[in-house]
Structure 1
Amino acid sequence: MKQTLLAILLLLPYFVQAQLQDSFSDGDFTKSPAWTGDISSFIINSQNQLQSNGPAVTGTMLHLVTPSQAVSGTTWEFWANLKLATSSTNYADIYLIADKEDLEANDVNGYFVRIGNTADEVSLYRKDAGKTAVMIINGQDKTVATSNNIVRVRVTRSVDYEWELSIDVSGAGLNYVSQGTTVDAVHKRSDYFGVLLRYTSANSRNFYFDDFSITDAQPPVLEELQTLNQQELTLRFNEPLTPEQAQSFRNYTLNGSRKPILAELIGERTVRLVFGQPFNVGENALTIASLQDLYGNKLSNPINRSFNFVPPAVMPGYNELLITEIMADETPEVGLPAQEYLELFNATSDKVLTLQGIRYSDATATTTLPNVQLLPGEYAVVVPNSQVQSFSRFGKVIGISNFPSLNNGGELLQLRQPNGRLIYAINYSDTWYKSTSKKDGGWSLEMIDVNNPCGGIGNWAASVNPRGGTPAQANSVSASNPDNTPPSLVDVTAIAPDKLLLRFDERLDSAQAAQTLNYRLNPSLAVAGVRVQGPLFTEATLTLASPLQESLLYTLTTTNVRDCAGNSGSLPVTYTFALPSAPEPGDVVINEILFNPRTGGSDFVELVNRSPKYINLQNWKLANTSGDTISNKKTITTENFVLAPGQYVVLTANPENIKMNYPAAPPAAFLKMSSLPSYPDDAGTVVVLQQDSRIADRFSYSERMHFDLIDDLNGVSLERIRLAGASVASNFHSAATTVFATPGYKNSQLQEGVTAQRVFKVEPLVFSPDGDGVEDFATVNYHTDKTGLVANITIFDAQGREIRKLVRNELLAANGFFQWNGIRDDGTKANIGYYLFYIELFGLNGEKSVHKEKVVLGGRL
């Protein structure tokens, strides 16, 4: 290469702008310039033309080449005379650009003009190594269709790689006709110019050439500027440069004043510049002056080129790459393409982040991000490959092949390094929209403050952009929203005798929260270890040195536990808990049910723990029945939820609806389920299943159980009367019409257990069935010391008239009660006054006893 360059430099005085001029007037083609190849098969004839003189053998191919490095900003001209009828076996290829000396080889790269083929035309071809040549300009047919074809050819290639082919069939060069133009920049290097002939035996001497001219009148053009590192550049030009100017550091200026400490010409067209100080982060400006090509074309004006420099890309660490926008429900379309998307944000101020190999996952699927870089503070939207074009107008777009579908209601999303290390995680929910209309679709969720990446619902909101979102752009809800509040301990559950699960209301500083000194138990038990659980770091598992005791209350005290933002409370935080016990059927029972809600309302089932145990409802189920089969089982909760003795819990799919309809309901009593089993308005069965699949409780209800005098049953629940009683119809009554239902707190119709001092006792002696929740019914309580007793109870008014057959042939338990709500057998309300319960008791051996108890039905006059 150095020898070739030296030879060209020596020739510079002979051709200032022309790289090649050869009319063969000296009668010698082996010098000035030198042609090589099949030199024995060519002659200079008496007209000073280059003429073929090869063997008269069909299929012969001949070639001659001369050095030429012209590739762009160049004009090629020559004269040719083919005294033959051109065909697929008789033609001439004039190589304007070639990277090999042997033009007959198949591995040549370059461009050539073909004179003659089956269409008898002059056309321009591109030759790629190992491949068949491709026509890029198709010349007019039949322009060389005689047996004596004279043509002068001119080809130009601009510095922008636009080709034009023109011919003059007179051969004079005064009447060129364009054969077409094209843009082709595949090959940008040349070493040779030459001719390649193919002929049959009769045409071995019939190819004539003259006036070869290659003219370069354009100065060098900078094609590419590339940063190698923070102090080095490479500059690639479109043609070879003269070394003296190319290697002068004075010809290069960075950012107005800085000169390189080294300017080195690599090969013929590439300059390496080394600077003594790093480039500016961001935009830099380079000025290039006084360069010239090998043919004397010098820059008339300096080249000014700007370039951006960014530090080498690195893998993001924890919270350095964030998910800052989520379009989970894309329909109905508001203004954006109807497509789910995620937005990523480089939260660093000085790092370029590479996304290559980062694993993005939702609850069910994982995909890998492509080789893309994000600059400091840069946003990008992630969509399926098929949607890249649709989102390109908004900003930077990253396409992936298997985009995991986003759940409309919310789910856990994670970004992890290729080695599995966590980068970022978020568990979004449709409650984060804080807008009923926007959560129905077409609007994205946006992070408010990107400097508060650990913030949950408080740092997210529905987009306010009219399009419905801001993919690959700063969020429309962007604002300062720092986290200044320390974490709160919201729950402690003993998940094993020696393990506690702690739940906090926000993300923790996982390293600091893992210190055992931050936790203390009373009664005293040592904490042996702490593990803060990812990916959200809102839960910590404490391992105890010795086991907890059942039914014993413990108090956990936490101190100095910091959140992700560094906040910690100044005062200790305490929480009281107990080790859950194994449940038995009947420990947790159905306490209240709303199966006929108001229009637009929701069902609920209330449970109560009537045992002295602490019972964990994790993986319990709520069900109904189909015939005699328990069916439609729904998991109450997959999380730990410990029910203390006497504690209520309300199960519903829509807590907000229940709270709106029954404002006295305590919010802490609700446990949201994704859906409840079907509980029809007319009748049905509620079944509660323990984790071990045993039936905890079962209650078959009917709308006929409601108090007959209630005009509108919609929105009125059935309540358990006595906590210790069985889950049967006689132990349930309509809630008082003053409240309609009591979700999460004491039933309006609750009665404490009454122990009969004799066989039968009425309580209260005066009742008023007006639905106000105060003594709305009377109970006939009984206590027997025998088994197998059967009772009939008939109610008479003060005049001795029978008004109600309350009980007929009822087999009694050891203890129990019957209720009368003041309704006659005909469904009307009895009048105010005295009434008599006439009770007949029958034994297994035929014995019979009669008991009479009085009651007063009161009311407002």
Structure 2
Amino acid sequence: MKRYLFAVICMVYFVASDAQAQSVWTDDFSNFRHPDRWFGDTSLFSNNGASGMLSLADSVARDAQLFRLSSAWDSARWQFRVEMDFTPSSSNYAAFAVGMHRTDLFGDNQGYFVRIGGGTQRRISLMRRNGTTNATVVESSANFLQVPNVGVDIELERSPQGVWTLKCDTGSGMMILGSALDNTISPGPYVGFICRYTATRADKIRFSNLSVEGGSFYSNSPFLVSRVEVMDNHRAILELSHPPVFSSLQQLNLTPRVNFNGLYHRDDPYRIELIFTSDTFEYNRQYVYRISGLQSSESLENLDSSIVFFRFKPKVGDVIINELMIDPSPAVAHLPEIEYVELFNATQWDLDLGNWQIQTGSTHRFLPEVTIPSKGYLLLVRANDAWWFSDSLLVAPMDWGVNALPNSSGLVLLFSPDAEIMDRVDYQLDWYNDAAKSGGGWSLERRIKDRMCNDPSNWGASNSAIGGTPGRANSLTELIEPLRVSHTAFLGGRWGEVYFNLPIEDDSELEVTVRGVKTDRFLRHERCLRIDLAPFIDQVEMPVRIEGVLSDCMGQKWGDTTLVFVKPERPKPGELLINEILPAPPTNGASYVELINASNAWLDLQGVSLARYDAEVFDIRRLLDSSFLFAPGQIIAFSPHPDRIVRDFTNSNSGAIRRASLPSMPNASGGLALLGQEGILLDSMLYDESMHSPFLQDVRGISLERVHPNNPSMERETWVSATSQAHWGTPGLPNSQFRNMGHTEEAFSLGKDVINLNRSELLEVFYDFADMGGVGHLRIHTANGFEVYVFPQRDLLGSSGVLVWDGRTSRGEYAPSGLYIVSLEVLFPSGKRKVYKDAFAIVH
């Protein structure tokens, strides 16, 4: 059965007086079989000819129950008399229930009841029922009813604060049996009599003198339709704020007029079912009716309101896979070590997912009967593990194995009741984009809920301190990498390909021109736009103009642009060079090798490999299997873990770092060889720790940079440590130690002679040295020599660069107006020491 809930917003009008705040009534049982009075086992009771007494009138052993609607709860008093022509026992007793949620006391229910007898100690007890468990709230002394025949008047009171007082009168006056505070159970709409008896006692229990008064738990709330649930094309259920008068269902009308039958559900008095005589509800179409004639059982108001029927058919994006805990061990903080799949309901309606399916790997499972609220979350977990999660979370137990979600990679599919795919996630371990978190204890979270991107751009490791956000909003921000060109390629001597960093959509209209000539010979596929360049292949350059709007699945746009295609050459020795290496990564980091196109030609890097080098080459690893156009002067870095490189090196270009397997690179010393497609040696270099600056005590996490492409790769002087200002590495960016050949001039200057701190201006100190690898120490003094600020550490400087001071003293206060001296002391590896000074002023 397909069922969808639709929360109704309606304009409600009433034709009766304000809802009553008090529920006051008595019953002499003269008309107890009227459908608006008592229901249940009415055939097992008699009113003894309207004598004012309700008598059990059975002949076999069983349980008998009578219930009716009542909302008395605050400052409430329930009074009744019970008579039993026997001594009560665990098999023969009576009870009176209040605030019950359903009509079967002996089943799964919630509420309170006064039990007269029962058990082996023959007490009068106030009991609390929660599910199928009873607990004592107040009770009399043991054997209080150890008498041959019982005749007792019972009075039960409840204060607004939830204090219950149980009283009784056995003929000597009303006495208090006890009081207790208990607000465990919220009020339900039913009160009633319950009898449990054997055959010999089946006509020996009587009730009389019933009266009820108290503040209604409905308070002054109006009588209205709170929700409509469309079951199928001809059935709907109305949820009401108050239970209706049963007989008024016959006067229920819908306008415009439509033929239907109404059914009342006694087990849920707030719901009525409408069965239409013909197919009425189409998918995703609203039907507005005016409903009237139904009467509230509490206030006797007549319902007169407009309601909307809506038969919902889900579409992609309505319910999404929002979070995955694929590897819960070891736990980070307080989350249980339990796999889970989190779903999110993006619609404005509460949805019953009872006929939806989830697929993990190749295994399909139906979801249990559960309603996920609008904009709410649902956790799917293995049935045996559901109890681990807080009661405040909506959890659905699933018939899953222990490892339903593989750690390294997996597939999760969500299906609608019509077996249509609503969401799909083909996750990979590298979606974490965080080496430490991919080891376990952290969930994968979706970044943007309304973007159906089955792609790492829309997923990442949770930022929550406890490792995940089950049942609440995800911790990841919606900031994502902008859509950009990743690289270009040239295939088959005719096809120019533009690759993007994110998958592109197929619904955009584009106009492509090559050398000013419009062409329709292009196509899109996932991350690639392929253009036929055959008619222009004899040209030296083929500028391609792309106009229109390309968008990715995240909704980002990529506008008009011009790209140049050139028939590439295969790299020759000396044209493609090793430009930067990191053999000794930081803790939990990764190595990288950076290449540079040192030629004036466009190169194709397809088939280029990197290998260990030590008199001969070994451990050869291919970097690129497909075409990759590499422009003159372009830089690209390769690493097995680009995410770690971007994390550890803030001065990096994530768009120029590609994933690739690298040969092993010993930390202390080693060699690398760069090979062309046919195994031609393009470049090689040897390295060891002593090539780093002598001022460094620990070289882990510090790269060796090439000072200039023209310097021989095998010369030690070609390689120096990256600067501290560049955060010890520049993967994908120009080297921090780049130096023009033959440079001998020196310079030291300030960006401004006067800085105004009221305008948040900064002091910029520019330097340009003839020597390389110097360690600098910057100080700020007043004109009379008082030290204002000392940079907290000595910087490993490049041959040129800039140092910045924000005007704050060592105590964190802004320096006062006046004249100051800046001095830069530099110590070079050769032992040469130089001091540079200049004056400047501060104003406010």
Structure (1 or 2) with the larger CA radius of gyration: 1
Structure with bigger strand share is: 2
